A and B are shown apart, each in its own frame.
Chain A
Amino acid sequence: MTNRWIRRLVPSRQTRIGYAFISPFILGFILWLLIPMLVSVWLVTREWDLITPPRFAGLANIQRLARDPMFFQSLKVTAYYACVSVPLSMTIAFLAALLMNSKVPGINVFRTIYYMPSIVPAVAVAVMWSWILNTQFGLLNHFLQSLAGVKIRWLQDPKWAMPALMLMSFWSFGTTMVIYLAGLQGIPNVYYEAAEMDGAGRLSKLRHVTIPLMSPQIFFTLIMGIIGSFQTFTAGYLMTGGGPENATLFYVLYLYRNGFRFFKMGYAATLAWVLFFVILGLTAMVFRGVGRRVYYAAD
């Protein structure tokens, strides 16, 4: 009887082997994700400048949010970036995927070329685009001046700095394009044949066949796009420093400054948790609003 109970408590050899294989991930998850998350919750009620021990601060960090104009500015800037760049980059990636789904000789070469920008390191992208967007000597203004006789102060004008960074983000649509391409190739031809038989043209097929059957991929990239865009940091940090006039003060850049420049790690932790709930809320809204319209072929 006792032996049976012991056997129930001790996992089987196969289970033990399974845990052994996933132990590096579990260890990493605990050490570098779970514990830091729990510590950051604790830090919300602390003032910590990294160089002296944390001191209890009650709700001071949360109260500070309400009277911090830069908190609202950074949230506004990031929301603007997310609302414009996510739908536009998804659209560009979708159109590119439609093109890459063509059966033309050498299409693999084109797919590679369009994918490559997405694997260029972020710092290299930032430096390159700093030159392309340069007011005086940049390539973009060179074309604009030749075609339309205008020169835009891309990274110096508060009105244009954010559109400039959005433009830069569109360049790296390769990953999303590949996801859409995989989705397009998974659509059975029978649907297109049936639509043709009903007299559907190209646009009709796109609207009534392609897009509905691509809805899982579109839904996935929308969620991932929202999550990613709210965490944008590199472009603002490297190219504009949050300027000009805080026009590109991304939320995570502001969070980083509070932690490592202004010696307010407790407030930075508070900002991080606000961001978590903002993204969670937006994701829940998207699930409720759009999630029901997603068509899964297996249903």
Chain B
Amino acid sequence: MGHGKFNRRDFLRLSALTAAGSILAACSEPETKVVKETVEVEITREVEKEVTVKETVVVAASPETAELTYMGWGAGPEEDAILAGIEKFQEETPGVTVQWMHNASNKHLDKLLSMVAAGTPPDTAFISTGVYTRFAEEGVLLDVTEMLHGDPVLGMEGYFIPQEYERSVYKGSWYGIGFCALAGHFYYNGALFEEAGIDPPSNDPAEAWDWDHFLEVATLLTVDANGKHPGEDGFDSDNIKRWGVNYGRWGIPGHGAVFANDGKIINKQTGLLELDQPAAVEAIQRVADLSLVHHVMPESAVMEELGMGTSQMLETGVLAMTVDGQWALSYLNQLNIPLGTGVAPKMVKPACDITTPFQGILAGTKYPEVAWKWLRFLAGPWYQRQLCSIGLWLPNQTSLLTENGVKNWITPGIHPDGYEKIASEYVMKYGRNIYMPPGYQEALQQYITPALDSVWNGNKSAAQVLGPAVESANQILEENKS
């Protein structure tokens, strides 16, 4: 080796310098430019008289060019719709870009908490229902009350369904806006109903099945390997060829069952659980008995956790109907069966749980006004239409629930005939929220979930376990009250 030759030592020195330079460049903050401009936006809205009014509203220009970060979850059609929304917003708001930060849904909260703890929160994010009140209480979320009330569209009286005002307002202020409305309802294989000569469930809550009729239908549709139905001599519960129903044991469907028996999950005034009250106890036991006593539902809770069992079971005829969240329509509509929908069965009255996560602005954002523009876009008609039209969401905006409004998002081929009644009747008139105060997740995971496990497994009855479980869970809720 001599002078002027590029030897191994030179190579190592150059590599180290390049690596160090790259690390330094990656750690530097991006520049921001300041640009002022005025943007005119045309807004179309339908009022109660179904008269289309076009208004031109001058929206205050963003004072600067900004790159917003937006963190959330979603895959397949949901993520495609989010990305399309970002593109549309960026077209309407020159100078502002939105960087989408995707997480797996079960990792989202961990990531968000870590970023908040590190002092580098995203500008906007999905805020899970279970942490909304805690984040609001601790000042993690930006109070958007004034911006919302001053908004020419979102601030209109009756823009949202009443349940939205109830859940988004915490101690008198708005800290986020709910995505949409959710609802648990029937999905069924129409061919099996036709074959059995049974009328399927209706999308109209006025025609909701009562629990006894639902049980009767589920029994008729459940068949063992010998063609016997539950209750008949020789019925073999270990060899069932087709189950009548899969009823989500907890979450949106299970909560809906408690509401359908006029029960409560939690009292918003006291902030304490009321799952030990007779109505809730009875509802939970009825759902458990679908598999334990009546043998019309598969025992395996693992099917639900895996999340893919229901589709396959419906398509292959192993399952006749299921009660699941409305988001399932976004993938169940692709099944090769005549898919139908209907409102979930009532016990005392029709009811559904419409609790949904929120879109929120983190208080640490450097661009609160720009972030508000993004939030109002997400809560606006265009964005909601996109996600409702793919079968993922139900509207929480009244303009999309009028007779003409539903035509903007009902999609033939995705939404079965009559589906608009799920939104305009079922959700509007019978949808209920669950208030989740600070400590709710802990109370549920520590005491309620293990107690419910013993009910679903048939080891104990709901009446035996829910009393002590709720008492212990309420201690956690009391500790978290501040």
Contact = CB atoms under 8 A, between A and B. Distances in A.
A associates with B: yes
Interface of A: 49-52, 70, 127, 130-131, 133-137, 151, 153, 155-158, 241-246, 257, 260-263
B143 to A, nearest CB: 16
Interface string B436-472: 0001011001100111011011010000000000000
Interface in B36-95: none
A190 to B, nearest CB: 46
Given A50-B117, A260-B110, A245 B454 contact: yes
A243 B453 contact: yes
Interface of B: 109-110, 113-114, 116-117, 134-135, 138-140, 238, 298-303, 305-306, 439, 441-442, 445-446, 449-451, 453-454, 456-457, 459
B392 to A, nearest CB: 24
Given A244-B457, A261-B445, A130 B305 contact: yes
A136 B442 CA distance: 31
Contacts of A52: 138-139
The 6 closest A-B pairs by CB, nearest first: A244-B453, A262-B442, A50-B117, A136-B300, A245-B450, A245-B453
Contacts of B442: 261-263
Contacts of B109: 260-261
A151 B298 CA distance: 14
Which of B135, B302, B449 is packed against the most chain A CB atoms within 10 Å?
B302
B450 A51 contact: no
9 contacts: A51-B135, A70-B446, A134-B300, A137-B300, A151-B238, A245-B450, A261-B445, A262-B439, A263-B442
Contact of A156 (B110, B139, B457): B457
B301 A156 contact: yes
Which of A70, A130, A245 is packed against the most chain B CB atoms within 10 Å?
A245
A136 B457 contact: no
A50 B112 CA distance: 10
A51 B140 contact: yes
Contacts of A244: 450, 453-454, 456-457
A257 B301 contact: no
A243 B449 contact: yes
Contacts of A137: 300
B299 A156 contact: yes
B481 to A, nearest CB: 14
B409 to A, nearest CB: 35
B117 A51 contact: yes
Contacts of B113: 50-51, 260
Nearest to B239: A145
Nearest to B449: A243
B50 to A, nearest CB: 45
A258 to B, nearest CB: 9
Nearest to A149: B238
Contacts of B449: 241, 243
Contacts of A130: 302, 305-306
A27 to B, nearest CB: 12
A114 to B, nearest CB: 28
A151 B300 CA distance: 12
B116 A262 contact: no
A246 B139 CA distance: 34
Contacts of A262: 439, 441-442, 445
